[in-house]
Structure 1
Amino acid sequence: MSSFVPKPASDLAKLQPLDGLNYRRWAVKMLIHIESAELEYVLTYVPEPAQAKAADSTNPQTEDGSTSTPASVTPEPVTTDKSQDIRAKFERDNKTVRGLLLHHMSDNLLDIYAKYKSAKEIWDMLKRKYGADDAGRRKYTVGRWLNYRMVDTKPVIEQVHEYENLVSDLEAELIPVSEVLQTYALLEKLPESWGEFQNKVKHESKDYSWEEMVNHINIEDAYRQRSVSNSGTLKANMVESSDVKGDRSRTGSGGQNKGWKRGVKANNNNKFKNN
């Protein structure tokens, strides 16, 4: 009995549901997990109908190609125990793969394909509908990549990963992106606050690889976070220092309140005059 191993099943939780636009990447990842569970045969295997087997076993062919059933020959059973086991295994695996495909679809697509009981039929229908070359989809994918811009309100490294996904979408649509283009396009998509960093890299004579550029951005981002943290600590110390100076100016150098002294002296003079 085949069943999914724990690791691929847990990794599938990160798979984005199929919405039609992400079919190529979805299909590749889905096929990887199905193959890891050794269930890919479900997407290609067509079980033979029991009626055909019954006809072959009960009507053997003669020399001239015709079929006949001699009275003295006892018909063999329609299916053997082995064939029954194979069919039972296929039905179990088909249910597993079908459930896997439907579970990782958007609700709109789930309503369309839930009525089909064959995993192979669902897989083939999706391939015909979304797997064919579509010029409109390619234009949309290129537009998303060109118009993508990073912002200061989100972590830069997280946005670098989003950019990598856009490049993967281009490659899934069979649109080649060279490493040089991918690397320096990333530099142009950094937030506006990174203008000084961009100019510094552009004026360097060194050519950066993709890994070097991402590492360089990581270092710069860590430096910026430390600077923000240090400036916040310095500001807090300055506010605290100003509060202490204000207290000293009110209490005097001896630590006693000058206003309180003047009040006591005036009160003593009034008592002297009354006496």
Structure 2
Amino acid sequence: MNKIIEIKNLTFKYPNTESLILDNLSFSVKENSWTTLIGHNGSGKSTIARLLIGLLAAEMDKKDPYFIKIDGMELNEKNIWKIRDKIGIVFQNPDNQFVGSTVEDDVAFGLENKGISRGKMLALVNEALNQVGMAEFNESEPAQLSGGQKQRVAIAGILAVKPKIIILDEATSMLDPEGKKSILNLIKKIKQQYNLTVISITHDLEEVEKSDEVLVLDSGKIVLQDNPDAIFNHAELLQKIGLGLPFGYQLADKLRKKGFLISKNANTQEKLVKEICQLNLKK
């Protein structure tokens, strides 16, 4: 698979501070994959998202220069707007993203900035709202929506402009469990439909199940990089850097200690329930 994102030798610290947020970071993301970045607060996850879309810029070290490439283009002042056209980002609080007085106006905002004709714009807005199940709310005020509905509208605004990459920056952290599950399932559906690349940034290990690859960050460095099942097998390290283990993992571990034959890959609630049903809890 092609690499749609490449980062090499990226070091970053905020102005007037000495501590590094990112420390010589290098990694790549495969096109059409789902990659999750996890780590405790302050580990550098959200800083990466802002660097990818050019909201932040790192200082260049002449001896060890860094680069960020998006879809084959190096991020710089010359092509930053072309790169931003390829990336959509959903933040933690959707209220900070709303600019329109109605749902329809808000989804149309990005298209208006690109000079799309009104007829085509209305068609794209309608298509995006249908994709996220929010067409019936097109004339509603965003402030009247629930948290999950607001995130669906934010996602519709991204879908309308047809990006190649969607970044979820703690996008489900303010939702209840059902709302979180609904949004993640929606992202999975539209990823497959539009061949999108998804980058999910979170500190919640429950969210990694849908990932193809997981990067674990600690103090600006990647300390683990593997598929979800392999990541969960590093329980001691995950707990050491301040990440709470998923409920399914904790329950599976307790069952194993009681003598039940639960495999190491039964780390999520869904997998654990399936395995328990198959084994019928035989020791």
* Shared fold per TM-score greater than 0.5: no
Q: Which has the higher helix share?
A: 1
Larger Rg: 1
Q: TM-score, normalised by structure 2?
A: 0.23
Identify, as 1 or 2, the structure richer in strand: 2
Task: Give TM-score, length-normalised by structure 1.
Answer: 0.23
